[in-house]
Structure 1
Amino acid sequence: MVHQMGLYGEYFKAIKDGKKTVEIRLNDEKRRKIKIGDAIEFIKVPEQNDTLQVKVTGLRTYDTFQAMYKDIPFKDFDCADWSMKEMIEGTYEIYTPEQEKEWGTLAITIKY
């Protein structure tokens, strides 16, 4: 199955360059349909002028983004030089703490 998701340019480039191997999402209804072996087609946003397809090689769920970031090396997100505070604050620019509490979080290991 192929799932479609939008992805901001800097993260899109990091996957394309092979630097980002784990994608961060809420574990919402759409993401709960993802299975290992599925494909994800990322659409670069906001431009929507480029796509790339990856294979899902792993799925890990966490109650919070902080729990995820304690478990997975920051380099896997292409954020090796970031602090925990920067990771959390950066994530909350995309998702709200309320969404995190409602859905939990999902780390999707991918291969480009």
Structure 2
Amino acid sequence: MSTTPDTHVHDLNLYRQYFDLVASGRKTTEVRVKYPRLEKMAVGDHIRFSVKGTDESCLVRVLAVTEYPSFEALLDGETAASVNPTATREQQLANIRAIYGPEKEALGALAIRMQLV
């Protein structure tokens, strides 16, 4: 599958450990804060994930975008293994909150289901 002129492509960075899981197809749900720039993300859009400071990237197609009031609610509503197949739910919650502080979580959380293109 390739992008067409109508396809919106979002460029997002990932830490190496998460990038490797996405690139291998093992991570199928991305967690993000509901920043205003992501509010228009829709089914059929593409995301180009990159590892900051490298030329490495991978392209995924958005299958679903679900909004949650918190990261805890997100992990209750999604399959933990789809978010990170190498960590428990508790580890995932701690890892996500280490990246995003409470002021970011207060904006809301997005679960972005995806598949490699």
Change (3 A) 1:2 1:83: closer
Deviation digits for residues 16-69 of structure 1, max 9, x if unmatched?
111100000001111102111000011112x32201110000010000000000
User: Which residue pairs with 2:88 in the alignment?
Assistant: 82
Please list every run of at least 4 consecutive aligned residues from structure 1 whose deviation after the TM superposition is greater than 4 angstroms: none
Structure 2-normalised TM-score? 0.87
TM-superposed deviation, 1:72: 1.0
Q: Does 1:32 align with 2:39?
A: yes
Q: Which runs of 5+ in 1 are unaligned?
A: none
CA distance in 1, matches of 2:37, 2:54: 20
Q: Does 1:41 align with 2:48?
A: yes
The equivalent position to 1:106 in structure 2, one of 96, 110, 115, is: 110
Q: Which runs of 5+ in 2 are unaligned?
A: 1-7
Change (3 A) 1:19 1:28: same
| Alignment check: 8 A CA contact 1:74 1:80 kept | no
* Percent of aligned pairs sharing the same letter: 28
The count of corresponding residues between Structure 1 and Structure 2 is: 109
User: Partner of 1:19: helix, strand, or coil?
Assistant: coil
Task: Please tell me the root mean square deviation across aligned C-alpha atoms, in Å.
Answer: 1.2
